[in-house]
Amino acid sequence: MTYKNFTIETDADGIALVTWDMPDKSMNVFTVEVMDEIEKIVDQTVADANVKGVVFTSGKKTFSGGADLTMIKGMFSMLEEEKAKDPDGAVRKLFDAAGRMTWLWRKIETCGKPWVAAINGTCMGGAFELSLACHGRVASNAKSVKLALPEVKVGIFPGAGGTQRVARLANTQDALQMMTTGSSLTAARAKAMNLVHQVVEPDQLISAAKQMIKDGLKPVAPWDEKGFKVPGGGIWTPASAQLWPAASAILRRETAGNYPAALAILKCVYEGLQVPFDTGLRIEQRYFTQVVQTKEAFGMIRSLFVSMQELGKGARRPAGVEKTELKKVGVVGAGFMGASIAYVTAAAGIPVVLIDRDIEAASKGKSVSEGLVAGAVGKGRMSKEDGEKLLALITPSADYASLSDANLVVEAVFEDREVKKAVIEAVEAVLPEGSIFASNTSTLPITGLAKNSKRPAQFIGVHFFSPVEKMMLTEVILGKETGDKALAVALDYVAAIKKTPIVVNDTRGFYVNRCVFRYINEAYDMLAEGVPAVMIENAAKFAGMPVGPLSLNDEVAVDLSQKIMRASIADLGEASVKPEHMKLIDKMVDELDRRGRKNGKGFYEYPAKPAKKFLWPGLKALYPQQKPENVSVKTLQDRLLVTIALEAARTMEEGIVTDPREADVGSILGFGFAPYTGGTLSYIDGMGVKTFVKLCEKLAASYGDHFKPTPLLLEMAAKGETFYGRFDPYGQVEKAA
């Protein structure tokens, strides 16, 4: 029998080597077709008396990243369509669909012939669950091998036996930590946790897997044997009596109860370890069916799985523009941002020239990359040879003529129009005719900067976030005259350096910073009202934000807030900034020299390590303080999330952001907007626009007109619309095609 996605070769010892190698795919993923073929392979190998055992491996560099986009989207589409016809029947169908993988893996586990997974690279999600259902697991010791059950990061949890098998192989504490954080394991760590049997050299992977079968590997899972005991003794032990209350408390502390999937993992393990294995699988299937129906799962999967992949693959790239192979990139400005941009460019294998006013400044910029490489080599994340190759791609220079053959130049100099004007003119004097100029600016409108260019159609904004090597998001900003080629080249570059792009039209602060400063400004209002600073910060964390607004302001620098406010007043007039905000920040910067983390004092104090930062006690003296019992934490949470979401809605209304996927993904990756919501617009859609409008009106009555719902929101509420319905990104793609 032949298969589209698999090959089977049976050797003289009767061992069938099943190799998963999907045509036209860079990585193996689960689709309905793949599942059907695996089931046929199980039946075929069981029926064939000549087959004594099976080794399951990948023909690609990686094993598998898990489920395919279409499979995930298909599950949600089915649920939506069926619920309209038969709500109870829809849940039953969802339950059955959720169990397809579970019971197919169980079929492998109980087929009567030994299966060994030979893991040669990234093995995540359902693929790792398949491996756990095999009777033996051998992993390569290559650095590329990562094993994980990361589903919680996209709002669901390991629902194909993961919660039951990991908890029966590893000790309970390690199992819970692995699954509730979604963290990746090296092959060595997986072996230490008893999740992998052997770790071998890459060229010995298949032979070692076959040898396990030759050595008499039993085709029975440990939990199917009489007398099996859970590591640590199970639930009813003194150790468990200490573990479970602590685990629940830690989960509450880390998630504030915002992630149903994380809580479901605890329930699956706690309940599943008290019953027979098959019953545990049913419990897991039941909880998975419940979690998939939550708005958190829907929003997170859509934004953090589906939309992120679509945007990363060029969903906004103009059609008909040939892909650019970047042979050389120039970066002008060797300060921390420019130096970091040079690093990620070289890390992508692209030669880069790093320009500054003199060779000393440019070389100092390259030293940033040298430090990053040294750190990566020291931690074992990069080989010394790879580090040397990366650094060899970065050429420091003070000569603009070295940009004469660059496909793209990224300007990353000081946020000053005159400084940028001089750089634009110097670069364009040597830049080839078809090359693109990109400005890395965080505040200055691209259209205004492009007025200094002789070729505004080839001028674009590419806004990086700090630290560049860690932040996944890049804003690509279109000026009024930016052409399709500039956009295509910018998106090709962002894809090459493995960032996720969002495309926005030109405005002050673009998209992310507009939302960020609304968040910070709301905290200024709260301080002025006398809300204790610790309540502001904690309310933000309870709402799902990674850091409080005052902490975030310290990170971006309090004096930067001052510069932005003053620039807004200069350009837009006094009414553009609240006087009390300006007064607060002027006092912090000019009177108290509290500029944020960079000078060791801002809204927080930054003592010498290892001591942790703490809120500056002097904040209490700035305004008369309210009694904590008189302040509603829920209202603080609402204010912080609603003010950001309202700003996101305004950017859609103004045509700054045109695709709801970009608003959602940009808000999560850019500044960590409560990921469980799926992003700013999913937050609104999730509660319903009508409900959101009522909440805005309630907040506006108590806390100011900046909470008033916009005309677009009022119209959408009246029509019962959603952002994803009104601004359907898939409809736009179809029309464009």
Q: Rounded to whole angstroms, what are the CA distances from 301 to 71, 99, 167, 295, 532?
A: 12, 19, 25, 10, 36
Question: 500 φ, ψ to 5°?
Answer: -100, 125
d(CA 666, CA 501): 8
Question: 113 φ, ψ to 5°?
Answer: -120, 145
Residue 733 has pLDDT above 60, yes or no: no
**Helical ranges in 579-632 per DSSP H:** 579-586, 619-622
Residue 74 has pLDDT above 80, yes or no: no
d(CA 538, CA 455): 49
What tokens were used for 264? 């479901």
Residue 732 has pLDDT above 60, yes or no: no
Q: Strands 500-505 and 473-478, how do they pair?
A: parallel
CA dihedral sign, ordered 293, 295, 298, 301: negative
What tokens were used for 11? 């050797």
| Cβ atoms of 641 and 543 closer than 8 Å | yes
Per the prediction, the chain carries an average pLDDT of 93
Which is catalytic among the residues 135, 463, 581, 706?
463
| Cβ atoms of 459 and 478 closer than 8 Å | no
Residue 69 has pLDDT above 90, yes or no: no
599-636 residue pLDDT tens: 999 999 999 889 999 999 999 999 999 999 999 999 99
| Cβ atoms of 613 and 604 closer than 8 Å | yes
Q: Strands 53-58 and 115-119, how do they pair?
A: parallel
d(CA 642, CA 497): 33
Can you say whether residue 563 is alpha, beta or left, with left for phi > 0 and alpha for psi between -120 and 50 degrees?
alpha
DSSP string, 697-722: HHHHHHH-GGGSPPHHHHHHHHHT--
Helix (H) or strand (E) run with residue 618 in it: none
- The pLDDT score that the predictor gives to residue 736 is 37
Q: Which amino acid is at 178?
A: M
| Cβ atoms of 7 and 1 closer than 8 Å | no
What tokens were used for 91? 């849940």
Given the structure tokens 């900034």, which residue do they identify? 577
DSSP string, 86-141: -HHHHHHHHHHHHHHHHHHHHHHHTSSS-EEEEE-S-EETHHHHHHHHSSEEEEE-
What tokens were used for 585? 């920040």
Q: Rounded to whole angstroms, what are the CA distances from 417 to 358, 381, 461?
A: 21, 39, 14
How far is it between the farthest Cα atoms of the chain? 85
d(CA 342, CA 353): 8
Query: Structural domains in the chain?
Result: 6-293 (3.90.226.10), 329-509 (3.40.50.720), 513-726 (1.10.1040.50)
Kindly list the strands in the beta sheet with 473-478, ordered across the sheet, starting from the edge strand earlier in the chain.
Answer: 394-397, 352-355, 329-332, 408-411, 436-439, 459-464, 473-478, 500-505
544-570 residue pLDDT tens: 999 999 999 999 899 989 988 998 898
Question: 555 φ, ψ to 5°?
Answer: -65, -45
| Cβ atoms of 119 and 196 closer than 8 Å | yes
d(CA 341, CA 464): 8
pLDDT band at 441 (very low <50, low <70, confident <90, very high): confident
Residue 215 has pLDDT above 70, yes or no: yes
Percent of the chain with pLDDT over 90: 85
pLDDT band at 81 (very low <50, low <70, confident <90, very high): confident
Q: Which amino acid is at 721?
A: E
CB environment 250-274: b (16+ within 10 A), e (fewer): ebeeebbebbbbbbbbbbbbbbbbe
Residue 735 has pLDDT above 50, yes or no: no
| Cβ atoms of 22 and 71 closer than 8 Å | no
pLDDT (mean) for 582-586 = 96
- The pLDDT score that the predictor gives to residue 609 is 86
Q: Has 135 been annotated as catalytic?
A: no
357-368 residue pLDDT tens: 999 999 999 999
Q: Find the distance separating the first CA and the last CA of the chain, reported in whole Å.
A: 39
d(CA 261, CA 290): 9
Q: Strands 459-464 and 473-478, how do they pair?
A: antiparallel
155-172 residue pLDDT tens: 999 999 999 999 999 999
| Cβ atoms of 129 and 149 closer than 8 Å | yes
Going by C-alpha positions, the residue among 333, 702, 325, 709 that lies closest to residue 531 is: 702
pLDDT (mean) for 214-224 = 96
Cβ neighbours of residue 501 under 8 Å, at least 6 residues apart? 311, 312, 316, 473, 474, 475, 476, 490, 491, 494, 495
d(CA 62, CA 723): 37
Residue 696 has pLDDT above 60, yes or no: yes
d(CA 183, CA 155): 14
Given the structure tokens 């706690």, which residue do they identify? 270
d(CA 428, CA 402): 12
d(CA 143, CA 139): 11
356-404 residue pLDDT tens: 999 999 999 999 999 999 999 998 888 899 999 999 999 999 999 999 9
d(CA 297, CA 311): 20
Going by C-alpha positions, the residue among 603, 722, 695, 702 that lies closest to residue 641 is: 695
d(CA 123, CA 66): 8
Helix (H) or strand (E) run with residue 80 in it: helix 69-85
pLDDT band at 82 (very low <50, low <70, confident <90, very high): confident
What tokens were used for 260? 């149903």
DSSP state of 67: E
Query: Cβ atoms within 10 A of the Cβ of 624, count?
Result: 8
| Cβ atoms of 513 and 442 closer than 8 Å | yes
Q: Rounded to whole angstroms, what are the CA distances from 496 to 355, 431, 482, 666?
A: 21, 21, 21, 19
3-state secondary structure of 581: helix
| Cβ atoms of 391 and 373 closer than 8 Å | yes
d(CA 648, CA 644): 6
Cβ neighbours of residue 224 under 8 Å, at least 6 residues apart? 109, 110, 277
pLDDT band at 88 (very low <50, low <70, confident <90, very high): confident
